Amino acid sequence: MPTTSLRLALVAAAFALFGAACQCNPSKQCTSSTDCSGGGVCLDGYCVTDDGTGGGSGGGTGGGTGGSAGGGTGGSAGGGTGGSAGGGTGGGAGGGTGTPTLTVKVDLSDAGAAGHVVISGLGRCDAGTCSFPVTAGASFTVTAVEEGAGNGFAGWAGPCAGIGRTCGFSVPDAGLTVTAGFDRVNFIFVTSGTVTGGTLLGLNGADTVCQNHAADAGLPGTYRALLSTTLSNAVNRLPDAGGWMRPDLLPVAADRVHLISDGIWYQPRLTESGGTPGTPNSVATGTLLDGGLAATTCTDYAVNTGNVTVGNSTQGALSWITNNATSCGSSVRLYCVGVDRAGSPALDVPQNRRLAFVSNTVALPDIGVAGFDGICANEASDAGLGGTFVALISTDAGAPAARLNNGVVWTRTDGVKLTTAGPAFLSNGEWLAPLVLNARGDVLKGDFTTWTGASAIGTAAGNCQLWSVSDAGTGASGLSTSIQSGGVTQGAFGSLTKNCGEAHRVYCAQP
């Protein structure tokens, strides 16, 4: 049996050989020999037995597969399997030749949820747990992919965080585990029925209206009215996790920050059953642009006197939440949001598409058709967009639609489809989302008025003498916040008549 001094010398030698290479900062195993099993003694904080092997099954504190200072398969400072002090298969202080494992878990928190994770160079992992032996220090990218409409990504756990679909990391010696959660996505809808401020009888009454509408349409889950009161802002009534989709499964927002912003995806325009509501388009919110409390709420939706702040379900860029005010006795609708599910929807960008945007530049109308086309071409080029762009204005050839060809769908620069198919964009119907983004993908601020020279995208109207004058006459214009391309109040085309002496923006599209 080696003497204590010999054992101490062996430990010291092991640390002299291997300690400098250890970057793991191992924890000590023991403070006294009573901490060591099998008759070992505590030397320099590590358990050493008479035969020189590391003490304890699988090592001590910090031990485990792959080895560490406490020992484990593959050797440690006290010796590994078949080893002596400092010895063991490939052993050294904290060393070992164990292969790290990358563990990927796919958590489907809802029975109807579906998704998988793609791991660069390794393959994919479906529901459950997948383990991959990897090289220590190797880098990987994981991508979460929801499967099927209505399914969403609920976020990462481990080295990744948030709801970004792609994450990169390196695997340490000890290996690591990354978890991807998937869940169904909450619905958001506008009520098919109308209410007045006094008939709601407060916030609970509004929530009941939403719940009843959802139940009538067979929508699952719990619903709340998107309303602010003196006790709770609308944004605080939204869940911390999860996003929203319309009843037709088109995504509206990735999370609550996205929802209370001017950059939502598809307009929350549909009713609980997936239809388009008629008038009124006014939706009671009592909410400001930042999601906070407006000054007018019908005394927290309890009386029919006074006014209430409303949004407009046909308007984007936060006008859908805050557009104007109406009397508390007027008929209005409610926005209803699901709050149970944690899935965040993804935006499906068509592979084949044409782009459309609204200009940053405001111009007097006397620059002619070529001048407006030049604005579109220059802004597209500055944003790195390829292809040809023309202004959506009337010309001597007819309405703005005459400047475009039938074909693939048009999208905004963020990938949101303006209509379900290309030809539908040329009709005088409703769009899926307003054309409020510029060529760089930023939402416009300030003036949303656009020169169109049309009462609708397919109907020509006044155009300042074919875009030749700025000192007399009037021209037709629209609001880029609107999803209604026909000639309606607050529509995208022809809803406004402007003096030709004014400077405004212009819509641009690939023909």
User: What is the secondary structure of 260-327 as a DSSP string?
Assistant: TSS--SS-----TTSPPP-S--EEE--B-TTS-B-S-BHHHHT-SSSEEEEEETTB-TTTTT-SEEEE
Confidence of residue 57 (pLDDT cuts 50, 70, 90): very low
pLDDT score for 422:
87
When mean pLDDT is compared across 78-92, 233-247, 383-397, the lowest value belongs to 78-92
Higher-confidence position of 22 and 391 = 391
Higher-confidence position of 7 and 302 = 302
pLDDT score for 109:
79
pLDDT score for 261:
87
Average pLDDT, the chain: 83
Confidence of residue 82 (pLDDT cuts 50, 70, 90): very low
Domains of the chain: 1-97 (no CATH), 101-184 (2.60.40), 186-338 (3.10.100.10), 354-509 (3.10.100.10)
Confidence of residue 36 (pLDDT cuts 50, 70, 90): low
* Neighbouring residues of 327: CB distance < 8 A, sequence distance ≥ 6: 306, 307, 308
pLDDT score for 447:
82
C-alpha dihedral sign at 275, 278, 281, 285: negative
| Cβ neighbour number for residue 161 with a 10 Å cutoff | 10
pLDDT score for 494:
84
* Neighbouring residues of 321: CB distance < 8 A, sequence distance ≥ 6: 226, 234, 260, 285, 287, 289, 291, 311
pLDDT score for 435:
95
> Whose CA is closest to 476, among 487, 431, 398?
487
DSSP code of 100? P
Dig out the tokens for 477 from the structure. Answer: 């214009």
Taking residues 143-167, report their average pLDDT: 93
pLDDT score for 192:
98
Taking residues 265-279, report their average pLDDT: 95
Q: What is the pTM of this model?
A: 0.77
Confidence of residue 35 (pLDDT cuts 50, 70, 90): low
Taking residues 82-86, report their average pLDDT: 35
Confidence of residue 229 (pLDDT cuts 50, 70, 90): very high
When mean pLDDT is compared across 241-250, 326-335, 481-490, the lowest value belongs to 481-490
pLDDT score for 64:
34
- Give the number of residues written for the chain: 511
When mean pLDDT is compared across 10-24, 85-99, 402-416, the lowest value belongs to 10-24
Confidence of residue 56 (pLDDT cuts 50, 70, 90): very low
| Cβ neighbour number for residue 39 with a 10 Å cutoff | 10
Taking residues 395-409, report their average pLDDT: 93
- Does the pLDDT value for residue 25 go beyond 70? no
Confidence of residue 95 (pLDDT cuts 50, 70, 90): very low
Please report, rounded to a whole number, the percentage of residues in the chain having pLDDT higher than 70: 81
Confidence of residue 485 (pLDDT cuts 50, 70, 90): confident
pLDDT score for 76:
33
Dig out the tokens for 460 from the structure. Answer: 């020509």
- Does the pLDDT value for residue 305 go beyond 70? yes
Taking residues 97-125, report their average pLDDT: 90
- Does the pLDDT value for residue 240 go beyond 70? yes
Higher-confidence position of 333 and 61 = 333
Taking residues 495-505, report their average pLDDT: 94
> Whose CA is closest to 296, among 330, 272, 259?
330
pLDDT score for 408:
95
pLDDT one-digit tens code per residue, 113-141: 899 999 999 999 998 999 999 999 999 99
- Does the pLDDT value for residue 28 go beyond 70? no
Taking residues 89-101, report their average pLDDT: 54
Phi-psi region of 320 (alpha: psi -120 to 50; beta: other; left: phi over 0): alpha
